[in-house]
Amino acid sequence: MAYVSATDMVIDARNRKYAVGHFNLNNMEFIRAFLLAAQETQSPMILGVSGSTAKYMGGYRSIVGMVKPFIDHLAITVPVALHADHGNFAQVLDAIDAGFSSVMFDGSSLPFEENLHKSEQLVEICRKKGISLECEVNGIGGEEDGVVTVGGTADPEQCRRLGLIGINMLAAGIGNIHGKYPADWPGLHFDLLEEIARITDYTPLVLHGGSQIPANMLRRAIALGISKINVNTECQMAFAAAVREYIEQGKDRIGTGYSLQTLLSPGVEAIQRVAMDKMMLFGSVGKA
Ligand code: 13P
Could you report the per-residue pLDDT of 27-85, keeping only the tens digit for each? 999 999 999 999 999 999 999 999 999 999 999 999 999 999 999 999 999 999 999 99
Confidence of residue 152 (pLDDT cuts 50, 70, 90): confident
- 235 CA from centroid of ligand 1 (Å): 10
- 207 CA from centroid of ligand 1 (Å): 9
Under DSSP, the state recorded for 251 is: G
The whole-number pLDDT of residue 85 equals 98
Angle at which helices 190-199 and 215-223 pack, to 10 degrees? 20
Atom of ligand 1 nearest to the CA of 236: 2
| Distance separating alpha carbons of residues 285 and 7, to the nearest angstrom | 18
The verdict on the CB of residue 230 being under 6 Å from ligand 1 is: yes
- 256 CA from centroid of ligand 1 (Å): 35
The superfamily in CATH containing domain 7-282 is Aldolase class I (3.20.20.70)
Query: CB-based burial of residue 88 (10 Å sphere; 0-12 exposed, 13-18 middle, 19+ buried)?
Result: middle
The verdict on the CB of residue 106 being under 6 Å from ligand 1 is: no
| Distance separating alpha carbons of residues 41 and 276, to the nearest angstrom | 7
The whole-number pLDDT of residue 166 equals 96
pTM across the whole model = 0.96
Catalytic residue among 12, 72, 85, 191: 85
The verdict on the CB of residue 57 being under 6 Å from ligand 1 is: no
